[in-house]
Amino acid sequence: MTEMTNTFTLDGKEIPFREGETIMAAATAAGVYIPHLCHRPGFKPHGSCKLCTVNIDGRPSAACTHLAAAGMRVESETEALNADRRALTQMLFVEGNHICPSCEKSGNCQLQAVAYHLGMSTPHFTHFYPARDVDASHPDVLLDRNRCILCELCVRASRDVDGKNVFGIGGRGIRSRLIVNAASGRLADTGLAVTDRAVAVCPTGALLRKRDGFSVPIGERRYDRHTISDVTTETEEERPRHD
Amino acid sequence: MTSARPKIATCSLAGCFGCHMSLLDIDEKLFELVERVEFDRSPLTDIKRCGPCDIGIVEGGVCNAENVHVLKEFRKNCRILVATGACAITGGIPSWRNNVDLWDCFQEVYHYGLGLEGGQIPNDPELPLPFDKVHPINEVVRVDYFLPGCPPPAEAIWKFLSDLIAGREPKLDQAMLRYD
Amino acid sequence: MPDMSSPENSCDLPGIVARWGGDAANLVQILREVQEACGTIPPEAVDPLARLLNVPRVRIESTASFYAFFHTGPGCAYTLLFSDNIIDHMAGKAGLKQYVCEKLWVEPGKRSEDGLVYVGDTADIGLADQAPALLVNGHAVPSLDKTRLDLIAELIRARKPLAEWPPMLFEIPDQIRKAGPLTGEAFAPGAALRRTLARGAEATLAELETSNLRGRGGAGFKTAIKWASCRNAASGARYVVCNADEGEPGTFKDRVLLNSHADLVFEGMTVCARVIGARRGFLYLRGEYKNLFEKLQTVLARRRETGLLGESILGEAGFDFDIEIHLGAGAYICGEESALIESLEGKPGKPRNRPPFPDRRGYRDQPTVLNNVETFACAAKIAEQGGAWFAAIGTPQSTGSKLMSVSGDCRRPGVYEYPFGVTARQVLIDCGAENAYAVQVSGPSGMCISFREFDRRLCFEDLASAGAFMVFSRQRDMFEVARNFTHFFAHESCGFCTPCRVGTSLLRNIMDKLAAGKGSVYDMNEMQRIMHILRGMAHCGLGHTAANPVVQTMEKFPDAYEKRLKKLDFEPAFDLDGALATARLITGRDDAWAHLADD
């Protein structure tokens, strides 16, 4: 194989890549973790959470959208970058209403797990405590916008995988919000099914299967057992635990 | 730390005393702790006013005027202030009320709630007046350290305190860092 | 005025959609026309629109809720939006707004109960030289004073249709104070095109190369490289897009170019079409410049009649090109090239991931040249007079002339055309700003210079500028200038990326805290921290530069901040006593324990 002879260095380690592959994809394939939230293997790169920002030959750029090139020098696990990523995570926490102790997703939540990975002990910034809607209309799925981080994974999954376009982003700036494809504005009136990829792909507790909460005891949840930096577990949480 | 035994004060603001319970969960290490430190104001001692201390442990968020008085007393007297638990750090469960209008809340509780008739909204000056929203303590005073968890695991509290008492920078490994 | 009583009746949705080719890419234009017809975008119109355009309704809702000028609530017969730039404030905006609200018995930010009027704010509308200014139902009214507002209030109370308002209210003089090659020389439409056809596309590109023309939008990318890249791209359809979304507060030179020199701009676009082989072009005109729309359409029609647009331009077989005008709808971010293209495609204006850049994948993912209004005007002049002529003007790295939009504390605000390299001091002398203390060069995203730096030169080698030049005299409070700009960025952040969506609002809130006299050293450090995140991690230029006004004024005018800080290292994030006000009201308490004093 000649196509994998190209390499770049990531924190000094040689990473092989294929033409057209992003830094993130190449790093993941090589078993190297770069923190991220809006990225998921198999989905169109989005580049919005900015957690995967790395220094490429000294310039910051998002690893999930930046194409790998031969010989580039990429820095990721530096004290400075992780401090900045921690600050971004803190921004996500204060922007919404993330109250882990009462969230069913706790222990399986990527936002929480990334924050653990980055050693975040406090959201630090002044909380916005925004007023956001909870939509419990759907028989099998709960939509809690308090926990939405606007990663658009559900938007992409519903559009590109489920072929339904159930979700979208409305508004702009700090008032951006997840909207659903129904005149009533209710999830029940969309074509969403509990088996849709859009539901499983949510990294936080914004979209939850109903009657599934707290079914795994503390100590055995995903991020009780693995740290998020264990890249091989990336897509595991999307596998339904029942049925 | 001073050569004498370090003084520790603790309190619970808008919290459930769960963090205090977790502190008690260090079990036999409690004996070691009382040998190594002296407790000032704390639910454990029933001392009502905080004197000069080395370490202040604050559980709970800030939901009313009285919380502010207590918190400021701690900040003034404690060299090191530690926000302990989810409520002190994010507002926690009590902050679920942050998007319920205070008017609606009072009306529901004192006027329209099931079984209420001719209810009156209490206005006794002894009752702490509630804020519009519940806030984490670092939005009211400067905080030196944050010890998350709901509650923080007993081992985490012990590790944190041992580090502080020994004059080390407190550090939790990832396994002890949790928000629930 | 449209009939407010039955919005759905006046809305010919199928007609509007058909006019725009049934193409969802024209959604911004379709929604604009729906709103013009109905006074609002009626919620019940969303499903029919989605059906007619064959797109999910979330797509319609995303776009309708992104743009500031679109609204889905009940409409108003008259909407007054005051321009909210610091220059408007310096010219008395706040007092005048209050004045007209009192005249109309309406609360700012609230629709009057009878649905007659709404008075609110909007980002700078491109009239800083004639501030304060407002938009009434999207039409600009400059140079507000009490007399003009008395008249406006009277017209509104009499429910006089806008078409019957005195035209003098809407007259906007160019105020060209210093003319140059673009603004001062006569231009015969077709002159540049004839030279281009005679010379050939390749040779025209060579002239552009020789001219060393750089983009006038601020970034200064070499125009010839953009055009050549697009020309050499493999794909079939190519597009020419003119960025007339002049949204940077304090900038208005494109307004003047389009008002009086539109032929130069359109001719530049047509020259570009010839060079790259495009058949379609767009002028993306900011919604605030709606008053230019008809006039520009007339210019386009005349150019079609005289063979300067359309099929076989100037008789050259196969040279087919035409230009459409798309109006924006209140979004500064659409000045960013890839956000503009998203908007042209009917989507919220959120910047794309780049690369690929528009020269390879632009409008409909096809190779697209996107240039500023002034850049196209320059290109026309170069095509007409040659690259060497142009390169002789200005400095080696910054050839040609630059239009400056001068406003603020000066006696002669307006447009000044200088060869690149002029000093800030010279501009200040020419515009009559004897007491200048600071200048905001190139708008909030640009550079704030203090009186110590007035010998710096306006050119890419020193102070790159998209053209804004806002002058502040000694009596101005530079903290308030920066605070106004942080509000602007928080309002205009598109919300796509975390650092900008959250960071700009955090920054605005801290500046407001300082303004309330509740700031501390801790808050100053917080702002530095947020600035660092914005610069390093934001998705686009808006986020990268959003903290500049704060950082630069902190550095150059520390007194403006220090006098606002309490002599404490930390102050609560919120007003403790104020946060008890609701509970005091509910309980009727006012005892000592019902209050929290400051430290």
> For a pLDDT cut of 90, what percent of chain C falls above it?
94
pLDDT at residue C133 is higher than 90: yes
Count of domains observed in chain C: 5
Q: Which of B93, B98, B180 sits opposite A106 (nearest CB)?
A: B180
Range scoring the smallest mean pLDDT among A225-234, C55-64, C465-474, C479-488: A225-234
Task: Please answer whether residues B76 and B27 qualify as being in contact, where contact means their C-beta atoms are separated by less than 8 angstroms.
Answer: no
Each domain of chain A, given as residue ranges in start order, spans 7-77, 99-231
**Cα separation, C29 vs C7, whole angstroms:** 18
Q: Kindly determine whether residue B177 and residue A121, on different chains, have CB atoms separated by under 8 Å.
A: yes
Amino acid at B52: P
- Please name which of C441, C442, C396 lies closest in space to residue C420, comparing C-alpha atoms: C396
Confidence of residue B119 (pLDDT cuts 50, 70, 90): confident
**Residue-number span of the structural domain to which C510 is assigned:** 485-599
Q: Which of A82, A121, A132 would best serve as a mutation to test chain B binding (most B beta carbons within 10 A)?
A: A121
| Res. A2: pLDDT tops 70 | no
In whole angstroms, give the CA distance from residue C178 to residue C433. 15
Q: Is residue C95 domain-shared with residue C58, that is, in the same domain?
A: no
Q: How far is A219 from chain C (nearest CA, A)?
A: 31
Give the pLDDT score at C83: 98
Contact criterion met (CB < 8 Å) for C348 and A172: yes
Residue B124: count of CB within 10 angstroms of its CB: 9
Residue C66: its chain A contacts at CB < 8 A? Answer: 170-172
Q: Is A146 exposed, middle or buried (0-12, 13-18, 19+ CB in 10 A)?
A: buried
pLDDT surpasses 60 at C9: no
Q: Is C555 on the interface with A (CB under 8 A)?
A: no
**Residue, of C567 and B87, whose pLDDT is higher:** B87
In a domain, B148, yes or no: yes
- Asked if C212 and C399 touch (Cβ cutoff 8 Å), the reply is yes
Backbone angles phi, psi at B141, to 5 degrees: -135, 165
What chain A residue is nearest to C509 in terms of C-alpha separation?
Answer: A126
B38 assigned to some structural domain: yes
Contact, C250 vs C407, CB < 8 A?
A: yes
B39: part of which helix (H) or strand (E)? strand B38-39
CATH code for position B31: 3.40.50.700
Q: Are C241 and C213 part of one and the same domain?
A: yes
The pLDDT of residue A243 = 36
Are B14 and B64 in contact by the 8 Å Cβ rule? The answer is: yes
Same domain, C181 and C169: no
Q: Which of C369, C391, C413 is the last residue of a domain?
A: C391
Query: For C40, how many CA atoms within 13 A lie in the half-sphere containing its CB?
Result: 19
Q: Are residues C306 and C222 in the same domain?
A: yes
Question: Does the residue B118 lie in any domain?
Answer: no
Q: Which residue of C has its CA nearest to A48?
A: C497
Indicate whether C492 and C455 sit together in one domain: no
In-domain check, residue C209: yes
User: What's the pLDDT tens digit per position in A72-121?
Assistant: 999 999 999 999 999 999 999 999 999 999 999 999 999 999 999 999 99
Which residue in this structure is represented by tokens 């706040």? C94
Asked if B148's CB is within 8 angstroms of A101's CB, the reply is no
Do C283 and C243 form a contact (C-beta atoms < 8 A)?
no
SS3 C404: strand
CA–CA dist C394, C211 (Å, integer): 11
Residue C481 has pLDDT above 60, yes or no: yes
Q: Measured between beta carbons, which residues in chain B are less than 8 angstroms from residue A93? A: 90
Q: Are C182 and C169 within one domain?
A: no
Q: How confident is the model at residue B17 (pLDDT cuts 50, 70, 90)?
A: very high
Bridge-based pairing of strands C436-441 and C447-450 is antiparallel
* Residue C4 pLDDT: 41
Q: How many CB atoms lie within 10 A of CB C250?
A: 28
User: Are residues A101 and B86, on separate chains, in Cβ contact within 8 Å?
Assistant: yes
C156 in any annotated domain: yes
> Nearest Cα to B58, choosing from B33, B36, B80?
B80
Average pLDDT over residues A155-167: 97
- For A128-153, what is the mean pLDDT? 98
Mean pLDDT of A211-235: 86
Q: Is B134 on the interface with C (CB under 8 A)?
A: no
User: C505 pLDDT exceeds 90?
Assistant: yes
Query: How far is CA B166 from each of CA B3, B37, B81, rounded to the nearest angstrom?
Result: 11, 11, 16
A226, burial (CB in 10 Å: exposed 0-12, middle 13-18, buried 19+): middle
Q: Residue C471 in contact with residue C431, Cβ under 8 Å? A: yes
Confidence (pLDDT) at C11: 83
The DSSP 8-state label assigned to residue B110 in this structure reads: I
Mutate to test the interface with C, among B129, B131, B137 (most CBs of C within 10 A): B129
Helices C57-66 and C27-38 meet at what angle, rounded to 10?
70
The domain that holds C162 is classified in CATH as 3.40.30.10
Could you give the angle at the alpha carbon of C455 between the alpha carbons of C450 and C461, nearest 5°?
Answer: 100
Query: What is the pLDDT, as a whole number, of residue C71?
Result: 93
Write out the two tokens for C210. 């020789």
Determine the residue type at B50.
C
Chain B residues with CB under 8 Å of A205 CB are: none
Token pair in block for residue C89: 């404030």
Q: What is the mean pLDDT of residues C434-446?
A: 96
For residues C102 and C219, state if they share a domain: no
In angstroms, the separation between the Cα of residue C43 and the nearest Cα of chain B is 26
Q: Give the pLDDT of residue A234.
A: 66
B17 inside domain: yes
C168 and C231 in a single domain? The answer is no
* Residue A5 confidence class, pLDDT cut points 50, 70, 90: confident
Over residues C291-316, the mean pLDDT reads: 97
CA neighbor of C132 nearest in space, from C144, C121, C122:
C144
- Start-to-end Cα distance in chain A: 41
Of A161 and A236, the structure prediction assigns the larger pLDDT to A161
Q: How confident is the model at residue B115, as a pLDDT?
A: 76
pLDDT for position A4: 65
Beta carbons of B141 and C572 less than 8 Å apart: yes
Which tokens hold the place of B149?
Answer: 């968890």
Chain B: nearest CA to A220, how far in angstroms?
13
Residues in A closer than 8 angstroms to C538, CB to CB, are 50
Asked if the structure places residue B159 within a domain, the reply is yes
Tokens of C204: 């025209």
Lowest mean pLDDT among C42-56, C225-239, C330-344, C440-454: C225-239
| Terminal-residue alpha carbon distance, chain B | 31
How many domains does chain B fold into? Answer: 1
Position with higher pLDDT, C307 vs C75 = C307
**Structure-token match 């040249």, residue found:** C369
> Can you give the residue range of the structural domain that contains B44?
7-97+129-176
Q: Is B89 on the interface with A (CB under 8 A)?
A: yes
Q: In this structure, are residues A53 and C500 in contact, taking their beta carbons and an 8 Å threshold?
A: no
Which residues contact residue C450 at a Cβ distance below 8 angstroms, ignoring those fewer than 6 apart? C437, C438, C556, C557
* Secondary structure string (H, E, C) spanning C228-258: HHHHHCCCCCCEEEEEECCCCCCCCHHHHHH
Buried b (16+ CB within 10 A) or exposed e, C306-329: eebbeeebeeeeebebbbebbbbb
Mutate to test the interface with A, among C27, C44, C61 (most CBs of A within 10 A): C61
How far apart are the CA of B118 and the nearest CA of chain A, in angstroms?
A: 32
Count of other CB atoms within 10 angstroms of residue A154: 27
Q: A52 with A34: CB under 8 angstroms?
A: yes
Q: Under an 8 A CB cutoff, do B65 and C580 touch?
A: yes
- Closest C-alpha to A166, from A114, A204, A201, A214: A201
Nearest-by-Cβ selection for C586 from B121, B139, B142? B121
Whether residue A110 contacts residue A140, with contact meaning beta carbons closer than 8 Å, is answered with: no
Within a domain: B29: yes
**3-state SS, residue A54:** strand
Burial of B30 (0-12, 13-18, 19+ CB in 10 A): middle
CA distance A198 to A213: 18
Structure tokens at C394: 């200005």
Can you say whether the dihedral through the CA atoms of C47, C52, C58, C62 is positive or negative? negative
Asked if pLDDT for residue B2 goes beyond 50, the answer is no
Residue C232 maps to which CATH number?
Answer: 3.40.50.11540
Name the pLDDT band for A240 (thresholds 50, 70, 90): very low
Q: Choose among C322, C335, C299: nearest CA to C216.
A: C335
**Residue B139 falls within a domain, yes or no?**
yes
C582 close to B (CB below 8 A): yes
CATH number at residue C405: 3.10.20.600
Order of all β-strands in the sheet with B78-84: B38-39, B7-12, B53-59, B78-84, B145-147
Instruction: State which H helix or E strand residue C300 sits in.
Output: helix C293-305
Q: Which amino acid is residue C69, in one-letter code?
A: F
Residues of chain B in contact with residue A116, where contact means CB-CB under 8 angstroms, are 174, 177-178
> Hey, are the CB atoms on A94 and C498 less than 8 Å from each other?
no
- Report the distance separating Cα C218 and Cα C551, nearest Å: 20
Q: Return mean pLDDT, chain C.
A: 95
Shortest Cα distance, chain A CAs vs residue C62, angstroms? 4
User: How confident is the model at residue A233, as a pLDDT?
Assistant: 64
The CA distance from B54 to B8, in Å, is 6
Q: How is C21-47 classified by DSSP, letter by letter?
A: TT-GGGHHHHHHHHHHHHSS--GGGHH
User: pLDDT tens digits for B124-147?
Assistant: 999 999 999 999 999 999 999 999
Give A19→chain B minimum CA distance, Å.
37
Measured in whole angstroms, how far is the alpha carbon of residue C507 from the centre of its chain? 21
Distance CA C573, CA C569 (A): 13
Q: Taking CA C373 as the corner, what is the angle to CA C370 and CA C379, rounded to the nearest 5 degrees? A: 80
Per-residue pLDDT averaged across B29-33, rounded?
Answer: 93
Q: Would you call C284 an interface residue with chain A, using a CB distance cutoff of 8 Å?
A: no
Confirm whether B106 is domain-assigned: no
Q: Rounded to the nearest 5 degrees, what angle is found at the Cα of C299, between the Cα atoms of C162 and C190?
A: 165
Confirm or reject contact between B178 and chain A (CB < 8 A). yes
pTM: 0.96
Contact B106, C586 (CB under 8 A): yes
The phi, psi pair for A200, rounded to 5°, reads -70, -25
Give the A:C interface size as CB pairs under 8 Å: 117
Mean pLDDT check: name the lowest of B106-120, C413-427, C452-466, C534-548: B106-120
Interval C246-300: pLDDT, tens: 999 999 999 999 999 999 999 999 999 999 999 999 999 999 999 999 999 999 9
> Cβ(C287)–Cβ(C69) under 8 Å?
yes
Residue C535, chain B, CB below 8 Å: the answer is no
Which overall architecture, per CATH, does domain A99-231 show? 2-Layer Sandwich (3.30)
Please determine, for residue B155, whether its predicted confidence score (pLDDT) is greater than 60: yes
Give the residue from chain B lying closest to C586, CA to CA: B103
Which of C391, C416, C448 represents a domain boundary (last residue)? C391
Report the sign of the C-alpha dihedral through residues B148, B152, B153, B158, in that order: positive
Interface partners of chain C (CB pairs < 8 Å, 3 or more) are A, B
Fold matches, A7-77 and A99-231: no
Strands A7-10 and A13-16: antiparallel
Neighbours of B29 (CB within 10 A): 16
Residue C2 in any domain: the answer is no
CB-based contact (8 Å) between B131 and chain C? Answer: yes
Pair (C243, C324) in one structural domain: yes
Same domain, C93 and C189: no
- Chain B touching partners, 3 or more CB pairs below 8 A: A, C
Which CATH architecture is the domain A7-77 placed in?
Roll (3.10)
Confidence of residue A236 (pLDDT cuts 50, 70, 90): low
Kindly tell me if the per-residue pLDDT of C97 is higher than 50: yes
B118: exposed, middle or buried (C-beta count within 10 Å: 0-12, 13-18, 19+)? exposed
Q: Are residues C564 and C539 in the same domain?
A: yes
pLDDT score, position C236: 77
Mean pLDDT, residues C424-441 taken together: 97
Q: Which of A121, A130, A131 sits opposite B146 (nearest CB)?
A: A121
* Contact of C319 with C193, CB cutoff 8 Å: no
Question: Cα-flanking dihedrals φ and ψ of residue C172, to 5°?
Answer: -125, 100
Using the structure block, give the residue that is written with the tokens 């190297």.
A32
CA dist., res. B26 & res. C499, Å (int): 40
Domain identity same for C249 and C364: yes
- pLDDT per position as a tens digit, C37-67: 998 999 999 999 999 999 999 999 999 999 9
Q: Which of A119, A122, A126 sits opposite B89 (nearest CB)?
A: A122
